[in-house]
Amino acid sequence: MALSPPPDQDIVVVGATGDLSARKLLPALYNLSHEGLLPGHGRIVGAAPVDLEQAGFTEFARHAVESFSRNRPTRSAMAVFLRRLQFVRLDPAAKLTDLRTALTRERRLLYLAVPPSAFAPLITDLGAAGLAEGTSLIIEKPFGHDLSSARKLNDTIHSVLPEQCVFRIDHYLGKETVQNLLVFRFGNSIFERVWDRDAISRVEITVAESLGVEQRGEFYEQTGAIRDIVQNHLFQVLAITAMEPPVSFDAEALRNEKIKVLQALQPLDPGHVVRGQYTAGTVDGKRVRGYRHEPGVAPRSETETFAAMRMSIDSWRWSGVPFFLRTGKRMAMRDTRIVITFRDVPLHLFAGTDVDDVDCNRMIIRIQPDEGISVSFVAKVPGAEVRVQPVSMNFAYGASFKTSPPEAYERLRHDALDGDHTLFIREDEVERGWAVVQPVLDHPGAVVQYRAGSWGPDEADALLAPLPWHDPGEGGSP
């Protein structure tokens, strides 16, 4: 179904002069404006506690769009977008009452693009300013620091806003390939019929980044890979991969099935978790420094930049199937993928030939950057001898649809403006995710080292032994 403009409302970005706003939020709003998918009436209000005039914010927004928009901006579309902008300098003592004069509608969507430590105070100030009525709230991850703080944050939110007005954003759920996983599974009986423990031997989910912590060392010291990626991104992808068919594709039906997976996900055993930290190495042909030499990082830091784990789902569909999750910074390349390894054939009819040595069938769902799906199988090499090799059937978004998928923030911002919670995280999902990782937060164990530009520490391989992790380019697959 084609998207349509949401109801009239103002859009407020608190933290509008920050990096997230420049790289993601303002370009997403421009593209929605360009495609006619913003509310017909209402301002885009940028708010921040900085001394900036309206002209300065307009120029900031123009530069952000020109630098980071997926579509090259046109003069006319840019002019329409910039006319809607209004900047408000926030005075901390005013407790958001200074927003009132900039608002033009009784309904508004407020985006907190601020550090996590500012979430609770700003939400409290929202209520104190009398702005709760008519407000919907988008809040960025991380949603808390552990289970206790997540519960406290949810309590603070609900003291001001009801759950139906809260949109906890995880941009992975806005990625076209993650959404397509639902269609792929439940729209194709050929795959859904083998999507269980009878046919699948293991599942791997990888979120690898080639970048380091950049200028976010101080933030990362308080977070680490488990809090930053595992508890939210990885668990959300896992839940969609493992969930049962929902009764419909409305928001609550979908989220009900996701929480069932998280409830069946067994709490992490610290003995099945490897925490790593990158040292100096080479990435994309360039020499890079180690984590402990990044700005804002303690010289003897024990914060993990890599985490790998073996997990199990205590359900009828997945009993006995191990799920292996890993994420890391300064890895060999940027790559997010789901690897489904199917069980070996029950009888090797070609014993004594090299067919007996072939790898298992695999399905690889590439979430980024080369979005697509591939299935590997064994084929006979032409010739008189019985020789085989793995080959792939490959679906690529760019080649099939002749277009690149829209940015996740565009889809998610439009859905929030339209009041659609389907691709957002519910409070019970947040709290269950923290409950699963809490044993490792309480007993983290030692951090091991891995070279920047590698696929992580050797200790992570022991989780899957004797089989290795399936990295890009292996087994005849992308």
| Lookup: tokens for 37 | 């998918």
CATH number of 10-140: 3.40.50.720
**pLDDT band of 354, cuts 50, 70, 90:** low
Q: What's the token pair of residue 4? A: 């349509």
Residue 228 labeled ligand binder: yes
Average pLDDT score over residue span 408-425: 92
233 counts as catalytic: yes
Other Cβ atoms closer than 10 A to 216: 17
Name the catalytic one among 34, 233, 421, 470. Answer: 233
Cα separation of the two ends of the chain:
31
Q: H-type helices in 187-291, by residue range?
A: 189-192, 217-221, 224-225, 235-242, 251-264
The average pLDDT across 39-55 equals 95
Contact 376, 475 (CB under 8 A): yes
Provide the pLDDT for residue 429: 96
Every domain of the chain and the residues it spans: 10-140, 173-463
Closest CA to 95 of 119, 116, 124, 118: 124
For position 2, what pLDDT does the model report?
64
Q: Determine if residue 471 is labeled as part of a ligand binding site.
A: no
Is 380 marked as a binding-site residue? no
Q: What is the pLDDT of residue 361?
A: 87
Query: How do residues 115-174 score in pLDDT, each as one tens digit?
Result: 888 999 999 999 999 999 999 999 988 899 999 999 999 999 999 999 999 999 988 888
Dist. CA 72–CA 122, nearest whole Å: 35
CATH homologous superfamily of 173-463: Dihydrodipicolinate Reductase; domain 2 (3.30.360.10)
Q: What pairs with residue 311 in β-bridges?
A: 323
pLDDT of 84 over the 50 cut: yes
Contacts of 420 by beta carbon, 8 Å cutoff, 6+ apart: 251
371-392: average pLDDT: 80
Q: Is residue 65 scored above 90 in pLDDT?
A: yes
Mean pLDDT of 11-21: 94
If you count them, how many residues does the chain have? 478
The answer on whether 152 is annotated among ligand-binding residues is: no
362-368 vs 335-342, strand pairing mode: antiparallel
Residue 329 counted as an annotated binding residue: yes
Q: What's the number of CA atoms in the CB half-sphere (13 Å) around residue 342?
A: 17
* Cα–Cα distance measured from residue 308 to residue 225, given in angstroms and rounded to the nearest whole number: 10
Count H helices, E strands: the chain? Answer: 15, 17
Beta strand 44-48 with 10-14: parallel, antiparallel or unpaired? parallel
pLDDT band at 475 (very low <50, low <70, confident <90, very high): very low
Residue 349 has pLDDT above 80, yes or no: no
pLDDT tens, residue by residue, 160-177: 999 999 999 988 888 877
97 CB-near residues (< 8 Å, 6+ apart): 129, 130
Q: CA 52 to CA 225: how far, in whole Å?
A: 35
- Kindly report the average pLDDT of the chain as a whole number: 90
Task: State the pLDDT confidence band at 431, using cuts at 50, 70 and 90.
Answer: very high
Nearest alpha-carbon partner for 138 in 213, 261, 28, 222:
28
Burial (Cβ within 10 Å: 0-12, 13-18, ≥19) of residue 468: exposed
In this prediction, residue 476 carries a pLDDT of: 41
Angle at 244 between CA 242 and CA 250, to 5 degrees: 115
Give the residue among 16, 21, 29 at the shortest CA–CA distance from 71: 29
Dihedral sign for Cα 215, 47, 62, 68, please.
positive
